[in-house]
Amino acid sequence: MADTMGMAVAERADMAEFLAGLTPEQWDAPTLCEGWSTRDVVAHMYGYEDAGFSGFAARLLRSGLNGDRANAAVVAEQAGVSPPELLAKARSCVRPRGFTTLFGGRIALTDCMIHQQDVRRPLGLHRDVPADRLTVALDFARTAPPIRAKPRVAGLRLVATDLGWTAGDGPSVEGPGEALLMAVAGRRAAVDELTGPGVATLRDRIDG
């Protein structure tokens, strides 16, 4: 059985190392998360770590059970936190805590992988994502509620051409596993890297 918590720890360690090399300009650069800079994405990623399960539930209730509003509130609360402080937080949170530990750490793993690419892609900083971690993230992302991918990929066959990974039935959407993960997560920028008769449907669902 795969050590998915170990993968989550390794992914977060890679993220902390990546963040340590960013310039001040890159911390303020836009990301694939609309309206969020790198520092906003990082604030979001680690903003729930100290809240625990009860704190996370309370914040979600205060936001009317709307995850987007809850996330925006976390980012707004940390608007004045500096990049060195955010980097220190990332380093202290290499081992997931709270709700991100659920599903054997798959929440932490998948969230971190997607958000690292949210930052890297606009900066033109390529990464070769470890295949074992990427396969686990693809499996999880298809059904994870926060990603809201189920209606996005329903009736489509997903094929990661570099991993030997497939899922679903219907018109195919094919391409590198990283691009497929980002498209499944609703990042339109990755769709142009995919091919197959199902791509138009996936693009329309993301745009809709």
Q: What is the pLDDT of residue 65?
A: 43
Q: What is the pLDDT of residue 75?
A: 63
Domains and CATH numbers, the chain: 4-123 (no CATH), 131-207 (3.30.1050)
Residues 6+ apart with CB under 8 A from 58: 51
The whole-angstrom separation of Cα 194 and Cα 200 is 10
> Helix and strand tally (H, E) in the chain?
11, 3
Q: What is the DSSP letter of 192?
A: G
Q: What is the pLDDT of residue 68?
A: 63
Residues 6+ apart with CB under 8 A from 113: 11, 129, 133, 134, 137, 181
Q: What is the pLDDT of residue 48?
A: 74
Q: What is the pLDDT of residue 72?
A: 65
The whole-angstrom separation of Cα 79 and Cα 135 is 34
- Tell the residue number behind the tokens 């990623």, with chain if given: 45
pLDDT string in tens for the chain (208-residue length): 689 999 999 999 999 999 999 999 999 999 999 999 999 999 988 877 766 555 555 555 565 545 566 566 666 676 778 999 999 999 999 999 888 999 999 999 999 999 999 999 999 999 999 999 999 999 999 999 889 899 999 999 999 999 999 999 999 999 999 999 999 999 999 999 999 999 999 999 999 8
DSSP 111-162: HHHHHHHHHHHHHT------HHHHHHHHHHHTT-GGGT-HHHHTT-EEEETT
Amino acid, single-letter form, for residue 183: A
